[in-house]
Amino acid sequence: MDRKPNSSTTICTLFTVSHSDYIYGLDLLLKAIEKSMHTKEDLLVALSHFLLTKHYEMGCVGNGDEEILRTNETGSEWLPDNWNANGTKYALRYVHGKELYLLIGHKRKDTLILNLFDTRAKSESSISLEPHSLVFAIKGSLTICIPTISQVVDRFRNELFSPILSGKFRNVSTQTINNSVSECRRNSDQLCIGSRSWFVSSPCGRGRYPFHPRSRIFPNYIEQVRE
């Protein structure tokens, strides 16, 4: 039986989340690089870049496969110049905290192979994609360009990102959720749902927040936290 709302509990809104929320903002990135994007492989690499920067809080520190992070290198959410100049190989460097990761892509016949390499742990993951069967166009709406983008995103998360990154971000996420409890209590415009707290995470990957019904933040995950 459902409990009645209790004023002593944290107040948040709960609703169904779609994959479109998870890729919210991707169209802005693609618009910014549309003049430099020429192939279906380019689009898939751009998608992987978007997911790394927005949902794993990584910053791109340029092209290459060098495994040394210099103290003056700072990460960016944008792709660097000439990121796809090679045509058959991609090599992008990412930083999170003081850890360096490499995203390496190789085009082999009709296949794009992407590898994510943790330079500190020396661990690696990979995903094999068929651009011509996944990407129908490189310009236009996302549902036209990649009709099965939901499944593609799931594959990226399960095959390329989770094997390397899932354990590394658990503590950060937990701390952010705990901090969000206090913030949620201060928000009088939220809805109370029983004795449980509902939290969502930003599509821009900047941590998890209590969802505010008047905000323009679109969540990608909903997490339930008991008080």
* Backbone φ/ψ region at 97: left (φ over 0), alpha (ψ -120 to 50), beta: left
Residues in a beta bridge with 114: 105, 127
Evaluate whether 125 touches 106 at the Cβ level (below 8 Å). Answer: no
Average pLDDT over residues 45-63: 96
- Report the pLDDT value the prediction gives residue 42, as an integer from 0 to 100: 97
Residue pair 102/119 in contact by the 8 Å Cβ criterion = yes
Mean pLDDT of the chain: 75
* 68-94: average pLDDT: 94
Q: Which residue intervals of the chain bear CATH 3.40.1000.30? A: 34-165
Sheet strand arrangement including 222-226: 208-209, 196-201, 222-226
Whether domain 34-165 has CATH 3.40.640.10: no
Residues 205-217 pLDDT 10s: 444 433 333 333 3
Does the reported pTM lie above 0.75? Answer: no
Q: How confident is the model at residue 20 (pLDDT cuts 50, 70, 90)?
A: low
pLDDT over 50 (residue 185): no
